[in-house]
Amino acid sequence: MSSDPVAAYVRLVRTAEALHAEVSRGLADEGLTASQFSTLKVLRLNGPLAQKDIATYLLKTGGNVTLVVDNLEKAGLVGRERVQGDRRITMVRITPAGEELFDRVYPPHLQRIAVAMSGLGNEDLSSLLALLNELYTTVADPICLPVRDAQVRRAG
């Protein structure tokens, strides 16, 4: 094995993209893109958020999130509301239809992740997590946690 950082980076990116494509395939069957699903997930776990906060969680640009939210809104899965007193801020909330869809597709999504990662045992998974945490820790790391837990984790 090479200790070349470029080779390690390329392997990491290609592996991540391949895993993401495999896991996301089931979302496409439900008519969702990975970004749409992630937006629903962030809203389902955290409640209504400003579009800029969704962009921060998803590591996406504001323009990209606007397009994603536009499409989710057209499908009746989210709603938007301007903040009283500061019309520059648009809050996005998940609708009951969005909650139902998310609650239905999330368990099979988690199962696809488990299958995709099944080539690694518990010790290997722990080692991988430790290496990834050492390599890259950001504010966006706790994307799956409710806001309160994410803030505690960031502070710790």
pLDDT in tens, 11-62: 989 999 999 998 888 899 899 999 999 999 999 999 999 988 898 888 777 7
The CATH number linked to 67 is 1.10.10.10
Q: How far is CA 137 from CA 81, 111, 130, in A?
A: 32, 25, 11
Question: What single-letter DSSP state applies at residue 3?
Answer: -
Residues above pLDDT 90, as percent of the chain: 51
Q: Is residue 145 domain-resident?
A: no
Q: Is residue 71 domain-resident?
A: yes
Res 146: pLDDT: 43
For 121-131, what is the mean pLDDT? 91
Question: What single-letter DSSP state applies at residue 82?
Answer: E
- Statement: residue 106 has pLDDT above 50: yes
Structural domain range at position 36? 5-120
Tokens of 38: 């992630």
Q: Is residue 29 domain-resident?
A: yes
Q: Is residue 150 domain-resident?
A: no
Among candidates 48, 38, 121, which has minimal Cα distance to 83?
48
Question: How many residues does this entry show for the chain?
Answer: 156
Q: Are strands 78-83 and 86-94 parallel, antiparallel or unpaired?
A: antiparallel
Cβ contact 70:50 at 8 Å:
no
